[in-house]
């Protein structure tokens, strides 16, 4: 027997002892054999000796002659590095074609190795510690960066499907400077250019704390980089080998994350759509940064604070994909960030308690070193990033609390992103947020939002319901179940929630309100109402017990959790009556009565519609004098310390369209005057103005559409902006459609639009409607804005940028 062949046999026999692995459940059984090509054993090569050999990973029924993958290990004399070349089955085959010769294993793969790994220290494993000072190159399709995918049935997806078999696809720099057996950073770059594609081109993860970690040495512990199975994500508290294989097909499928984000307590990550280069300041985009924190100091693989950013710098070519339908190819004109800030009040366990989500225009301008100083990026660094978020002014903000359910997620709380308001709203391309934004929320979640605020994040604790709320929130919703919800509002617009409405839901769509209970913080009163009772309690309620911020440091996290525990509600959080009863003061109880349409008044009072039913009864404090009143509907007004009752009158709506002199291509201001001469508020409505130039393609075009409100006894004037596209004899029609499906139309207004060189600036055409009685109609107040144009864009942009006087 020849010497080389004997070494082959010895290699096979020796490696069966450590290489045979029985996979759990339905995972395949994989055997591993090592064949030395130089006389050096696998143990010696693993320790850094000079030599060469081949590892064969195979299914038992195929044997080592038909391996699913093969790995050639080599180290040359006088070299400080060692090389591993990983081969997979060629396309159309299910095993690596090899030929075992007396002193060599011939690997007959035309395109060469699919993965090349260089260990900078020359060794692979010592004392159970894998070496993670590695430079890695992959060739052909492989799920080695985010954005790809692989299934045995469909193969690769996204960019990995487009890579040619022998094309350099991903380059990686993995480093473990202290030789702990755990990578400190993991920097990956997608190499093909893929012009015009929104693929991740940079993945960077840096470990920021030590956490107990189990190191799995995989199928071949002396070369600990191949796992029997797994996913691109690492398990929490475990570091598995990175190379994954579709064993029956002989295909390399994954090179998983090594410095881990979602399975590591603390990490600083960037997933960018552009490549990062050493020796320059890299402007980051998309998920830059994505940071994970353990504020408890006790986590085991699970963070309890996640701050996830999506960001684009000005004029970034990749930014056109934020909302392609809205943008129509436009890049963002300024910086844009939308950030979710999710935290847990206990040690991290993939469950979440709260989230604040913000959107705004806050330039970075930092120089943050990464990769041991080899790389520089412009976001804030890991330690200062949470504080930076809390110090900025944000135009749009939402707040979510997980209430009556568990919320498990590896990336924080997704619901109610600030981006739902719309990128067009942020930049002033539209004066209205996206339709139906924040109108629904998932079961078990409570959300609040504020728009157009240009303010820092601020939370407060309400002594009424004993919950955290978003300061300056406009409205909120708690989806308790399929059959119940609580809606919140800040009617006084003083920054604090002052109305709670508990609705039971039914009907075929499960959205019809079948009964309602409400509590209002009024001027020196708490007003409770349900379907059959009104209770007015004289009391003074402070809107906030304390102000706070989302936690950014361990001390803030600890103090915040303790305060919440100390002030826990002594009643069910859905018990609206109990919220009122916790405050002392004389009260009036009115039975067989109900209230609706409560709202505060600008002078500090309030009003609501009172319905007295036959047999109504009054007890307690005589705040209202109902002597001589009969069943019916009344308007109750509290002003200057007195209650006033008036017989309710229905809405009486009058409307007038005023059209200025119009000139072709010049923007003009249409004005609609609206007035409700009844005492009752009208239901929500939409005002639409149509323009018509008979005999042309400009027929019944929409000039403007606006939601409006019109409250009892009040007037509302709308300003609408429009530029005529062509001269001629135009007609303009105004139409009001109310939420109860009733419609009010004004007679057309005829106006001659002058050519660009002719105009009579002093003329104005108007048409008033006769008084038009519409039962239960409301017109909704709209902000003065237009269809577009520079003036509207400037006004909206200045308002959102905080530059208005």
Alpha-helix runs per DSSP H in 321-414: 324-327, 385-391
Whole-number pLDDT of residue 220: 97
- Per the CB < 8 A criterion, the answer to whether 406 and 389 are in contact is no
**Per-residue pLDDT reduced to its tens digit, 493-531:** 999 999 999 999 998 888 899 999 999 999 899 999 999
Using the structure block, give the residue that is written with the tokens 């499907």: 161
CA dist., res. 672 & res. 653, Å (int): 13
CA dist., res. 709 & res. 739, Å (int): 11
* Mean pLDDT score, 261-277: 94
Whole-number pLDDT of residue 734: 94
Q: Is the per-residue pLDDT at 804 higher than 90?
A: no
**Per-residue pLDDT reduced to its tens digit, 478-495:** 999 999 999 999 999 999
CA dist., res. 111 & res. 94, Å (int): 16
CA dist., res. 197 & res. 799, Å (int): 34
Whole-number pLDDT of residue 452: 77
CA dist., res. 241 & res. 215, Å (int): 9
Question: Which residues share a beta bridge with 215?
Answer: 239
Whole-number pLDDT of residue 278: 96
Q: For residue 427, what pLDDT band results from cuts at 50, 70 and 90?
A: very high
Cα-based angle 77, 79, 80 (whole degrees, multiple of 5): 140
DSSP reduced 3-state for 32: strand
Nearest 10 degrees: CA dihedral of 415, 416, 418, 420?
Answer: 110
Whole-number pLDDT of residue 790: 37
- Per the CB < 8 A criterion, the answer to whether 504 and 483 are in contact is yes
DSSP 8-state assignment for residue 709: B
In percent, how much of the chain has pLDDT > 70?
A: 91
* Mean pLDDT score, 255-283: 95
Whole-number pLDDT of residue 264: 87
CA atoms within 13 A on the CB side of 672: 35
Whole-number pLDDT of residue 636: 97
* Mean pLDDT score, 87-100: 96
Longest dimension (CA), the chain: 121
**Per-residue pLDDT reduced to its tens digit, 605-644:** 999 999 999 999 999 998 889 999 999 999 999 999 999 9
Q: Is the dihedral of CA 386, 389, 390, 391 positive or negative?
A: positive
Nearest Cα residue to 582 out of 541, 544, 625, 633:
541
Nearest Cα residue to 691 out of 680, 679, 705:
705
Cα-based angle 492, 494, 500 (whole degrees, multiple of 5): 55
In degrees and rounded to multiples of 5, residue 402 shows phi and psi of: -80, 115
| CB-count burial class (<10 Å; 0-12, 13-18, 19+) for 350 | middle
Q: How many CB atoms lie within 10 A of CB 121?
A: 16
CA dist., res. 475 & res. 440, Å (int): 12
- Per the CB < 8 A criterion, the answer to whether 116 and 243 are in contact is no
Whole-number pLDDT of residue 789: 40
Q: For residue 31, what pLDDT band results from cuts at 50, 70 and 90?
A: very high
DSSP 8-state assignment for residue 351: B
Rg (alpha carbons) of the chain, rounded to whole number: 34
Return the CATH fold of 652-800: Immunoglobulin-like (2.60.40)
pTM: 0.86
CA dist., res. 599 & res. 759, Å (int): 46
CA dist., res. 394 & res. 471, Å (int): 13
Nearest Cα residue to 128 out of 192, 218, 243, 66:
218
| Straight-line distance from the first to the last Cα atom of the chain, in angstroms, rounded to the nearest whole number | 95
**Per-residue pLDDT reduced to its tens digit, 538-579:** 999 999 999 999 999 999 999 999 999 999 999 999 999 999
CA atoms within 13 A on the CB side of 566: 9
Q: Is the per-residue pLDDT at 12 higher than 90?
A: no
Using the structure block, give the residue that is written with the tokens 């940028």: 801
CA dist., res. 329 & res. 319, Å (int): 9
Q: Mean pLDDT in the chain?
A: 90
Contacts of 209 (CB under 8 A, 6+ apart): 265, 266, 294
CA dist., res. 527 & res. 416, Å (int): 30
Whole-number pLDDT of residue 545: 97
Q: For residue 262, what pLDDT band results from cuts at 50, 70 and 90?
A: confident
107-112: long-range contacts at Cβ-Cβ below 8 A with a sequence spacing of 24 or more? 107/54, 107/70, 107/72, 111/139, 111/140, 111/165, 111/166, 112/85, 112/87, 112/139, 112/166
Q: Which two tokens stand for residue 587?
A: 């009260």
Whole-number pLDDT of residue 763: 46
CA dist., res. 546 & res. 721, Å (int): 44
**Per-residue pLDDT reduced to its tens digit, 396-410:** 999 999 999 999 999
Whole-number pLDDT of residue 401: 98
Whole-number pLDDT of residue 758: 62
DSSP 8-state assignment for residue 143: B
DSSP reduced 3-state for 327: helix
CA dist., res. 415 & res. 51, Å (int): 56
Q: For residue 787, what pLDDT band results from cuts at 50, 70 and 90?
A: very low
Whole-number pLDDT of residue 795: 43
Helix (H) or strand (E) holding 378: none
Nearest Cα residue to 792 out of 731, 723, 732:
723
- Per the CB < 8 A criterion, the answer to whether 461 and 563 are in contact is yes
Name the residue ranges covered by the structural domains of the chain.
3-255, 285-457, 480-648, 652-800
- Per the CB < 8 A criterion, the answer to whether 471 and 567 are in contact is no
Q: Is the per-residue pLDDT at 802 higher than 90?
A: no
- Per the CB < 8 A criterion, the answer to whether 249 and 189 are in contact is no
| CB-count burial class (<10 Å; 0-12, 13-18, 19+) for 436 | exposed
- Per the CB < 8 A criterion, the answer to whether 534 and 528 are in contact is yes
CA dist., res. 212 & res. 349, Å (int): 15
Q: Is the per-residue pLDDT at 300 higher than 90?
A: no
CA dist., res. 185 & res. 183, Å (int): 6
In percent, how much of the chain has pLDDT > 90?
A: 84
Contacts of 392 (CB under 8 A, 6+ apart): 358, 360, 362, 456
- Per the CB < 8 A criterion, the answer to whether 406 and 350 are in contact is no
Helix (H) or strand (E) holding 161: helix 159-162
**Per-residue pLDDT reduced to its tens digit, 712-766:** 989 999 999 999 999 999 999 999 999 988 999 999 999 999 998 765 544 445 4
Q: How many CB atoms lie within 10 A of CB 663?
A: 20
């Amino acid at each position: 027997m020849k010497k080389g062949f004997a070494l082959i046999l010895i290699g096979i026999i020796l490696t069966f002892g450590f290489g045979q692995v029985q996979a759990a459940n339905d995972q395949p059984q994989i055997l591993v054999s090592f064949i030395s090509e130089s006389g050096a054993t696998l143990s010696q090569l693993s320790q850094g000796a000079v030599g060469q050999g081949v590892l064969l990973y195979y299914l038992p029924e195929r044997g080592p002659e038909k391996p699913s993958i093969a790995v050639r290990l080599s180290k040359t004399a006088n070299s400080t590095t060692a090389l591993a070349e990983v081969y997979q089955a060629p396309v159309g085959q299910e095993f690596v074609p090899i030929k075992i010769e007396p002193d060599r294993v011939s690997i007959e793969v035309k395109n060469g190795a699919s993965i090349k790994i260089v260990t900078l220290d020359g060794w692979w494993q010592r004392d159970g510690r894998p070496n993670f000072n590695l430079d890695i190159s992959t060739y052909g399709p492989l799920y080695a960066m985010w954005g790809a995918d692989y299934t045995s049935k469909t193969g690769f997806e996204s960019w990995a499907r487009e890579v040619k078999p022998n094309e350099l696809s991903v380059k990686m720099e993995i480093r473990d400077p202290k030789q702990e057996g755990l990578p400190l950073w993991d920097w990956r770059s997608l190499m093909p250019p893929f012009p015009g594609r929104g693929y991740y081109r940079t993945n960077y993860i840096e470990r920021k704390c030590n956490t107990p970690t189990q190191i799995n040495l995989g199928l071949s512990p002396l070369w600990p980089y191949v796992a029997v199975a797994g996913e691109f994500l690492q398990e929490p508290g475990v570091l598995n080998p990175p190379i994954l294989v579709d064993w029956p097909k002989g295909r390399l499928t994954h090179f998983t994350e090594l410095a881990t984000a979602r399975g590591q307590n603390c990490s600083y990550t960037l997933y960018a759509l552009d490549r990062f280069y050493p020796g320059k300041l890299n402007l980051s985009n998309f998920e830059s940064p994505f940071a994970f924190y353990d504020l408890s100091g006790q986590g085991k693989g699970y963070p309890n604070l996640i701050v996830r950013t999506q960001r684009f710098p000005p004029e970034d070519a990749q930014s056109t994909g934020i909302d392609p339908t809205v943008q129509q190819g436009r890049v963002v004109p300024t910086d844009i960030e939308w950030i979710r800030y999710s935290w847990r009040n206990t040690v991290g366990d993939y469950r979440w308690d709260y989230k604040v989500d913000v959107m705004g225009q806050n330039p970075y301008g930092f120089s943050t070193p990464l990769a041991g100083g080899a790389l520089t990026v412009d976001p804030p660094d890991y330690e200062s990033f949470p504080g930076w978020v809390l110090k900025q002014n944000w135009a749009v903000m939402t707040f979510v609390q997980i209430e009556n359910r568990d919320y498990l997620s590896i990336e924080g709380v997704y619901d109610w992103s600030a981006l739902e308001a719309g990128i067009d709203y942020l930049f002033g391309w539209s004066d209205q947020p996206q339709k139906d934004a924040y109108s629904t929320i998932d079961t078990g979640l409570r959300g609040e939002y504020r728009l157009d605020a240009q303010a820092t994040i601020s939370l407060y604790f309400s002594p009424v319901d004993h919950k955290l709320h978003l300061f300056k929130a406009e409205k909120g919703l708690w989806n308790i179940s399929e059959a119940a919800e609580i809606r919140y509002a800040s009617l006084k617009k003083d920054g604090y929630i002052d109305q709670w409405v508990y609705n039971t839901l039914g009907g075929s769509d499960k959205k019809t309100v079948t009964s309602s209970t409400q509590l209002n913080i009024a001027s020196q009163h708490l007003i409770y109402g349900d379907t059959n009772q009104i209770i007015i309690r004289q009391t003074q309620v402070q809107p906030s017990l304390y102000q706070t911020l989302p936690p950014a440091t361990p001390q803030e996290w600890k103090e915040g959790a303790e305060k919440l525990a100390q002030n826990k509600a002594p009643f069910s959080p859905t018990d609206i009556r109990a919220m009122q009863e916790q405050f002392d003061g004389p009260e009036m109880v009115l039975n067989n009565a109900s209230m609706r349409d409560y709202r505060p008044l600008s002078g500090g009072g309030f009003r609501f519609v009172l319905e007295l039913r036959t047999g109504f009864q009054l007890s307690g404090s005589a705040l209202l004098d109902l002597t001589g009143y009969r069943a019916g509907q009344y308007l109750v007004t509290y002003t200057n310390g007195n209650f006033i009752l008036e017989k309710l009158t229905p809405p009486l709506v009058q409307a007038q369209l005023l059209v200025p002199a119009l000139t072709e291509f010049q923007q003009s201001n249409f004005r609609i005057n609206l007035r409700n001469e009844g005492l009752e508020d009208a239901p929500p409505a939409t005002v639409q103005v149509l323009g018509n130039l008979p005999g042309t393609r400009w027929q019944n075009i929409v000039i403007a559409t606006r939601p409006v409100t019109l409250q009892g006894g009040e007037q509302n004037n709308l300003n609408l902006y429009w530029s005529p596209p062509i001269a001629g004899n135009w007609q303009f029609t105004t139409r009001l459609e109310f939420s109860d499906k009733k419609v009010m139309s004004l007679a057309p207004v005829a106006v001659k639009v002058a050519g660009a060189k002719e105009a009579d600036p002093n003329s104005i055409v108007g048409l008033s409607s006769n008084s038009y009685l519409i039962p239960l109609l409301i017109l909704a107040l709209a902000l003065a804005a237009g269809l577009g144009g520079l003036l509207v864009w400037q006004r909206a942009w200045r308002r959102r940028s905080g530059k208005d006087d």
